Amino acid sequence: MGIFAAELVGTALLILLGNGVVAGVLLTQSKSENSGWIVITFGWGLAVMTGAFAVGQFSGAHLNPAVTVAFAVDGSIEWSDVPEYFAGEFAGAFIGATLVWLAYLDHWKPTEDPGLKLACFSTGPAIRNPVSNVITEVIGTFVLVFGILAFFANPATGETGLGPLIVGLLVLGIGLSLGGPTGYAINPARDLGPRIMHAILPIAGKGSSDWSYAWIPVVAPLIGGVLAAVAYGALF
């Protein structure tokens, strides 16, 4: 399996399970409706773990353009490979978001709030302040990428084969600790890909895709990832 196919499959699984848990918690008449933030953060952690275990042996399971750029900055991958990673990540995000729409097909219409429907695809701030929102996403992505670099520099991580589980737990921790202000996109493909599908798909009663906010969960994670790669390289 090549880079494109691996990143496509891994990111599709990530989005299907990650946005799927959000849909389960938010959409009307779902059996898990109103089960809360803890369920969402655990679901996302398990989504990352599943996608990473599935394709890690083929592409390294970046599943995230911010991780890809950070790995290019620190020399772990060639810059020439970045477009193939990006293509797989965004294609996988499109597929995963579409599968979430299909899985919850009967729940979009009974859900009256269009904001809840959008939240099943992309992130949004609890308090809209572009400067603060950027800072939060930079910090969250910095922790993600710095943690990944540190974990996999430790021989014990590779020896156990449990790297994807460890990264999933890291994402759980980020969600619990830093997810409150912006919903912790920490991944441009995770946010922009499903947001595009929200705009395209015939979702019953959907509202705006909130394009005025959409640049933040794309730009800020890329900044955070690069800063983490530079900081890790400087320190270690």
Q: Is the pLDDT of residue 113 over 90?
A: yes
CA distance 114 to 67: 31
pLDDT at 157: 81
Q: Is the pLDDT of residue 225 over 80?
A: yes
Q: What is the torsion angle, in degrees rounded to the nearest 10, for the CA atoms of residue 199, residue 6, residue 54 and residue 69?
A: -80
Is the CB of residue 9 less than 8 Å from the CB of residue 55?
yes
- Going by the DSSP 8-state scheme, the letter that residue 181 receives in this structure is T
In total, how many domains does the chain have? 1
Is the CB of residue 195 less than 8 Å from the CB of residue 121?
yes
Q: Is the pLDDT of residue 153 over 80?
A: yes
Name the 3-class secondary structure at 43.
helix
Enter the pTM of the model.
Answer: 0.96
Full domain range(s) for residue 221: 3-235
Name the 3-class secondary structure at 125.
coil
CA distance 27 to 35: 11
Q: Is the pLDDT of residue 156 over 90?
A: no
Q: Is the pLDDT of residue 209 over 90?
A: yes
Tens digits of residue pLDDT in 32-85 = 999 999 999 999 999 999 999 999 999 999 999 999 999 999 999 999 999 999
Residues of the chain above pLDDT 70, percent: 100
Q: If you average pLDDT over residues 161-179, what whole number do you get?
A: 96
pLDDT at 139: 98
CA distance 227 to 142: 7
Q: Is the pLDDT of residue 134 over 90?
A: yes
pLDDT at 160: 85
Is the CB of residue 185 less than 8 Å from the CB of residue 221?
yes
Q: Is the pLDDT of residue 158 over 80?
A: no
Q: Look up the CATH number of the domain holding residue 31.
A: 1.20.1080.10
